[in-house]
């Protein structure tokens, strides 16, 4: 009996830690204090912001497809969760990549609203 309880507790703990793409949309909307817009997210994703690269430079304008690193040429697995179940399931990874990639494309961090918009667009049915 004790073993079953331990297994149950472990399962509960691991499911509580794992995140889903929708959790990130909710989190960023909450931080922004406003609803996300998939349309705005698409525009943000596909246009450059003063720098050399846009998000689409590496992830392509159709993020359900595989991309390619704009500089090194290395293959990048699809970003859209519908095409790649591993995406947006780990908060540390999500925060790391938004930090780096926003710095590379905008030369600053992204706002919560910008991240919410991008999430909404990535989750929108294509």
Partner 1 sequence: MKRIIFPPLFALLAALALPAQADSYRLPKNAVFEEECGSCHIAFPPQMLHADSWRAMMGDLSRHFGSDASIDEKRRTAITDFLVANSGGRKTGDTRDAQGKPLLRITETARFAKKHREISTATWKRVAIKSPANCAACHALAAVGEYSDHSAVSPK
List of residues contacting partner 1 (CB under 8 A): 69, 71-74, 92, 96, 99-101, 103-104
Smallest distance, partner 1 to C-beta of residue 15, A: 23
3-state secondary structure of 112: helix
Give the C-alpha separation, 117 to 33, whole Å: 12
Residue 33 or 73 having the CB closest to partner 1: 73
Q: Supply the minimum distance, in Å, between the C-beta of residue 108 and partner 1.
A: 11
Q: Pick the closer one to partner 1 by CB: 48 or 103.
A: 103
How far is the CA of 119 from the CAs of 9, 12, 44, 92, 110, in angstroms? Answer: 31, 26, 11, 16, 12
Closest by CA position to 44, among listed 126, 124, 111, 123: 111
Residue 121 near residue 45, CB atoms below 8 Å: yes
At closest approach, how far in Å is the CB of 102 from partner 1?
Answer: 8
Alpha helix positions (H), 33-111:
38-46, 55-59, 91-106
Q: Which is nearer to partner 1, 6 or 107 (CB)?
A: 107
Nearest-approach distance from CB 50 to partner 1, in angstroms? 15
Identity of the residue, 36 or 54, whose beta carbon is nearer to partner 1 in the bound complex: 54
């Amino acid at each position: 009996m004790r073993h079953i309880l331990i297994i149950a507790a472990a399962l509960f703990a691991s499911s509580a830690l794992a995140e889903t793409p929708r959790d990130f949309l909710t989190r960023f909307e909450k931080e922004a204090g406003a609803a996300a817009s998939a349309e705005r997210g698409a525009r943000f994703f596909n246009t450059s912001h003063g720098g050399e690269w846009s998000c689409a430079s590496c992830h392509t304008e159709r993020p359900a497809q595989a991309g390619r690193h704009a500089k090194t040429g290395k293959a990048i697995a699809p970003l859209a969760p519908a095409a790649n179940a591993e995406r947006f399931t780990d908060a540390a990874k999500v925060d790391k990549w938004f930090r780096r990639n926003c710095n590379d494309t905008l030369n600053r961090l992204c706002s919560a609203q910008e991240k919410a918009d991008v999430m909404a667009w990535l989750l929108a049915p294509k």
